[in-house]
Amino acid sequence: MEDLDQQYRTILENLEQKAQNDYDKTILTLSGGASGITIAFIKDIVGTSPIVNSNLISTAWIMWGISLSAVLLSFYTSTCAMRKKIEQIDNKEVNENKLGGLCDSATGILNVISGITFILGVIFAAKFAYINL
């Protein structure tokens, strides 16, 4: 069993490193893509025409901001959960408590929030685009 614990620990260490490496790429992709597309739409498509329902695009940007914040927090809580799991394995507490503790639960919740708010942002932006075409 100790060999399996060590293998699991190694996997968690590798996952922690990968999560940290993916962090910058994810944030840049989401924020740059969503913001860039909507700004280009307003500039090139709407142009000098009066903007209708600007609150829709504002809401989309807020949703994307919440999504990005949740992703950011999720990376942090994921790293904390993996560190906690490693500690639990090292202390032979594998079957005593939930692996990863509260950080593991928080990561799952933040992942759901980030997905939902990103999709809501897309919906608000699409509605804004439809109205202003």
Q: What's the domain count of the chain?
A: 1
pLDDT at 125: 92
Give me the pLDDT at residue 28, please.
58
Residues present in the chain in total = 133
pLDDT of residue 1: 60
- The pLDDT of residue 20 is 61
Sign of CA dihedral 104, 59, 20, 11: positive
Tell me the pLDDT of the chain (133 aa) as tens digits: 678 888 888 898 888 778 766 865 676 587 778 878 888 888 787 777 888 899 999 999 999 989 888 888 988 898 899 888 888 888 888 777 778 889 989 988 998 898 899 889 989 999 998 998 7
Q: What pLDDT is stored for residue 44 in this prediction?
A: 80
Residues spanned by the domain of 11: 2-132
Q: What is the pLDDT of residue 75?
A: 83
Q: Hey, how many other C-beta atoms are within 10 angstroms of the C-beta on 104? A: 17
Instruction: Kindly state the tokens that stand for 68.
Output: 């990005």
